[in-house]
Homo-oligomer: A and B are copies of this chain.
Amino acid sequence: MEAPSFSSFEFDTNRPLQTQLQHQLTQWICSGRLPPGTRLPSSRRLAAELSISRNTVTIVLEQLKSEGFLQSIQGKGVYVAADLPQNINRPSTVHWHNRGGLPELSAFGQTLNKTPLLEHSEILPFTPGIPDLSSFPHKTWLQIQRRHQDRINLMGYDGNQGYEPLRESLAEYLKLSRGVLCKPAQIIITQGAQQAISLCAQLLLNEGDSVLVENPGYMGARKAFLARRAKLISCPMNDNGVDIDAMQRDHIIAQTSPKLMYVTPTHQYPLGGILTASQRLKLLDWAATHNTWLIEDDYDSEFHYFHKPIAALQGMAEQTPVIYMGSFSKTLYPALRLGYLVVPEALVKVFVQGKSFMGGESPLLTQAVVADFINEGHFVRHLRKMRLLYQAKWQHLNHLLNHQLKKPVRPIQQSAGMHLAIEIPGVDDQKLKQNLQQKGFGSSALSSYYNDQPTKTGLVLGFANTTRYQREAGIEALKSLL
């Protein structure tokens, strides 16, 4: 079989001819336009027909031979390889076209496919979870980074547990600041909080296990448990957060015997309640009695403004079933993607294995910079500075909310953290959030933090990354919308 004319090849003068010729010939072969067994013209004739150099043609033909698209037959010429499947790219003969699609997703994949995708929106004033990015000490950071930048032992593969000097600095910091009792060997560095919760879900839960979550609570945790096909049970709540007395009386909890509980005792997310020491001890007791893992998410305990935060659950008793987690997203910045777990010694191995199976080592250079940032005192200094800054912002926002908005719209007051939740009874808070966004301000709808039917509506306002002017303008905008 002789080849058709090649004169319809079109070349783009901005790209290498060789690449283009190779691509076009391959496409013609794959599409069946040059079927197996077709004889090609000689390189001289082909070069003339295409008005390109013979050298280019020869190189491409050699490449296609080495790839198995073409074959030389001694004394006869160059042919499209006879053993190629016919018409690979012709829709009419390709099976997946006939069956109308790709293979199936997993059951989990199918569920996700039905879940609406949360639009990723840009950071606006009042977007929750964002620290004051303009106060980050870039200069110090860069100085430390330059020291480590070309260290060859920070360029290879990390052990899955995380960079040891960082785990050492963290163990010391967590002991002093949060009363966490741990050795560096109990710390697992993770890629932010989501991977930390996800690892717990995979390693501690079987499909269908029950998990007790705060309601309202942190959406990211719910997602990680749903990804493990767990059953979510809402925990009864009071102003302090989870209501341990009500938990003990709860029939659903008694019947489902939750395998794990996810809790934010130091600053309930998003309402801001704080469990007292006695409630913490009761919670530990409850977990021990019910043989339930506790994940203690200590996500913003660094920012309490009038007292030191209450010590972490993890350190209140020995041998507790507590897995403590935190991240540098709030204390440094989110895009660092660095978090940590403190696990009981008996669980270290399985978490390190889990990371090696699921993926998720963190860049070594970043870990080394954070370790020095802590060791050299910059971290504590930065936190002290941010605490004062956020306290002033909190007071200002609180004042605005109390004076600018009409009752019963009020902050659900807690003097901590980087956000304020405000209750706005009977409002369509999703709509309100969208309207506020159109005016250039971020927020989250309070109803979106609930597992089920929300019992409160309102907004969550992140204030850490706002200026005085933005707070005033934002509350003005909110006022006009209510």
Beta-carbon contact of B152 and A359 below 8 Å: no
> Inside 8 A of A67's CB, which chain B residues have their CB?
276-277, 307, 310-311
> Inside 8 A of A196's CB, which chain B residues have their CB?
359
Instruction: Identify the stretch in A43-51, A107-115, A393-401, A468-476 within 8 Å (CB) of chain B at 4 or more residues.
Output: A107-115
Q: Is A392 an interface position by the 8 A CB rule?
A: no
Bound state CA distance, A91 and B69, in angstroms? 74
Beta-carbon contact of A107 and B191 below 8 Å: no
Q: Is A37 an interface position by the 8 A CB rule?
A: no
Q: Tell me, rounded to whole Å, the shortest Cβ–Cβ distance linking A342 to chain B.
A: 14
Q: Is A438 an interface position by the 8 A CB rule?
A: no
> Inside 8 A of A19's CB, which chain B residues have their CB?
176
Considering residues A196, A277, A318, which has the most beta carbons from chain B within 10 angstroms of its beta carbon? A277
Bound state CA distance, A101 and B115, in angstroms? 39
> Inside 8 A of A94's CB, which chain B residues have their CB?
288, 317, 319
> Inside 8 A of A157's CB, which chain B residues have their CB?
120, 123, 129-130, 334-335
Contact with B along A335-346 (1 / 0, CB 8 A): 111000000101
Q: Tell me, rounded to whole Å, the shortest Cβ–Cβ distance linking A444 to chain B.
A: 13
Q: Is A97 an interface position by the 8 A CB rule?
A: yes
Q: Is A233 an interface position by the 8 A CB rule?
A: no
Considering residues A106, A193, A203, A311, which has the most beta carbons from chain B within 10 angstroms of its beta carbon? A106
Bound state CA distance, A197 and B149, in angstroms? 29
Bound state CA distance, A22 and B308, in angstroms? 11
Bound state CA distance, A310 and B356, in angstroms? 31
Q: How many residues of A are in contact with the other chain, CB < 8 A?
A: 135
Considering residues A29, A68, A321, which has the most beta carbons from chain B within 10 angstroms of its beta carbon? A68
Beta-carbon contact of B359 and A198 below 8 Å: yes
Within 8 A of B (CB), among A89-124: 89, 91, 94-97, 99, 101-109, 112-113, 115, 117-118, 120, 122-123
Instruction: Identify the stretch in A246-254, A278-286, A418-426, A429-437 within 8 Å (CB) of chain B at 4 or more residues.
Output: A278-286
> Inside 8 A of A26's CB, which chain B residues have their CB?
179, 277, 311, 316
Q: Is A364 an interface position by the 8 A CB rule?
A: yes
Within 8 A of B (CB), among A180-228: 190-198, 202-207, 209, 223-224, 226-227
Beta-carbon contact of B335 and A156 below 8 Å: yes
Beta-carbon contact of A105 and B149 below 8 Å: no
Beta-carbon contact of B113 and A350 below 8 Å: yes
Beta-carbon contact of B347 and A279 below 8 Å: no
> Nearest B residue to A131 by beta-carbon distance?
B155
Instruction: Identify the stretch in A1-9, A132-140, A403-411, A450-458 within 8 Å (CB) of chain B at 4 or more residues.
Output: A132-140
A-B contact pairs, 8 of them (CB 8 A): A69-B278, A105-B203, A127-B156, A133-B152, A155-B334, A156-B335, A224-B359, A227-B357
